[in-house]
Amino acid sequence: MANLNKREHKASDNHQTTFFEAEFNAWDKQNRGYLTMEEYVNLFEFLQYGDRSKIIELLGSIIQGRDRSKNITMELHMDVMSRPGVKERTSRHRDFFMTFADGSDTATRKQILQRYEQIMGDQFTEEHKEKIYNLKIGFDGKVTYEDFFRNYLLERGQAGASRCNMCEKK
C-alpha cells in the first residue's frame, strides 16, 4: 500500500480559497461574518503559524492601521492569507485533509475512516470511528473541509485550541 504521508497534493487556487473561507467560517462560531482580533490571533495559533509573537508580527500592519476594536472580515482574511509564506505556514490541517480528499475540498466518510485507521493503527478505537461517522455530510455524501475543521474545534470544546493531535505528522 502506498505511503500516503509522502503523497503530495497541490490544491488549486479555487480550493485554497475554499479552504481559507472554511477555516474563517468554522472559527466564526456565531456566524457573524467577522472575527475579533483576539479570535483571529487564536485562529492563527490553531493553524500553527507560529507563536503569538510571530502572529502579532504578521498582523502588525493590520493592528497598527486600524482601531483594535475593529473586526477582521473575510476580505481582510483573504488578504492576509495571500501574503508570502502564510499559506504554507498554516497548511497542516489543509494538507492533512488533502491526504484523504484526493485533491478535492470534500471527502467521503470511508476515505476519512481509512486514512485515520492507517495513521493510528492499533490506537484507532471505536470512539474514533464514532466521531468520523458523526461528521456532517452533504447531499453528495461527502464531508466538506469546513465541517471537518469545525469538528476539530468542537472536539476541543473551544475555538482557541492550539493543536490538532490527529494532524500531527507521523
Predicted pLDDT at 13: 65
Predicted pLDDT at 66: 59
- Alpha-carbon distance of 96 to 141, in angstroms, equals 20
**Contact present, 11 and 127 (Cβ < 8 Å):** no
Helix segments in the chain, DSSP class H: 13-27, 37-46, 52-64, 74-81, 86-89, 92-101, 109-120, 126-133, 145-156
Which amino acid, residue 30?
Answer: Q
Predicted pLDDT at 65: 60
Stated length of the chain: 170
**Please, which contacts does 152-157 make with residues 24 or more away whose CB atoms are closer than 8 Å?**
152/93, 153/26, 153/27, 153/29, 153/46, 155/131
Domains with residue ranges and CATH for the chain: 13-167 (1.10.238)
- Alpha-carbon distance of 138 to 131, in angstroms, equals 16
pLDDT tens over the chain, length 170 residues: 333 333 343 455 677 888 999 999 999 988 999 998 889 999 999 898 999 899 988 888 776 665 555 789 999 999 999 999 999 999 988 888 888 777 678 888 888 888 888 888 888 889 888 888 888 888 888 988 888 888 877 776 544 333 333 334 33
Predicted pLDDT at 64: 64
Predicted pLDDT at 98: 85
Predicted pLDDT at 49: 93
